[in-house]
Structure 1
């Protein structure tokens, strides 16, 4: 069985959004003393966007990676929500975190909707 078409679109759209959000950050100055962490985060997150693109290409084949994709979205979205609630991040960062949580929810629904091969 094949996965519903919306799953391909969801993962591919997430990959494009992620690349658009992440790649311009390479042009920003990294925080002094935190260059390795800053660029390491951007690079790792960018690699995951490529994984989303691959999952979208054959959701049934890569179904086992979908829960990992959910976790990738939770590790940014949940801290953003907590930090916003405690007044430690701005509304823009909070919004980005909420987008990640929405994408993660879509990844979870995709995993549930994708037939096991």
Structure 2
């Protein structure tokens, strides 16, 4: 099992989770983070650190968010690893908890 970053992270990109990860499995895009399923060791250290409640165990991802499992795996191949906490995006509080943010996901390199 691995952990998956879901839609709640889009346009927020809190990075508290990346700093506590013991195996460097988080990758950073312009407005979203993803978890590399090949690197994740299922420690769950990231879950309580996410202010947006965007991280789920793979078998607990809500049905309407299941596509984020494949998206995490895909984007880890294109985005760099993030190791340290950075400031959240300026609009993070405004977007935290909003629905239907997938169209806002930027796939380019940060």
Q: Same fold (TM over 0.5)?
A: no
**The structure with more strand, counted as a fraction of residues:** 2
**Computing the radius of gyration over CA atoms, which structure comes out larger, 1 or 2?**
1
Normalised to the residue count of structure 2, the TM-score between the two structures is: 0.25
**The structure with more helix, counted as a fraction of residues:** 1
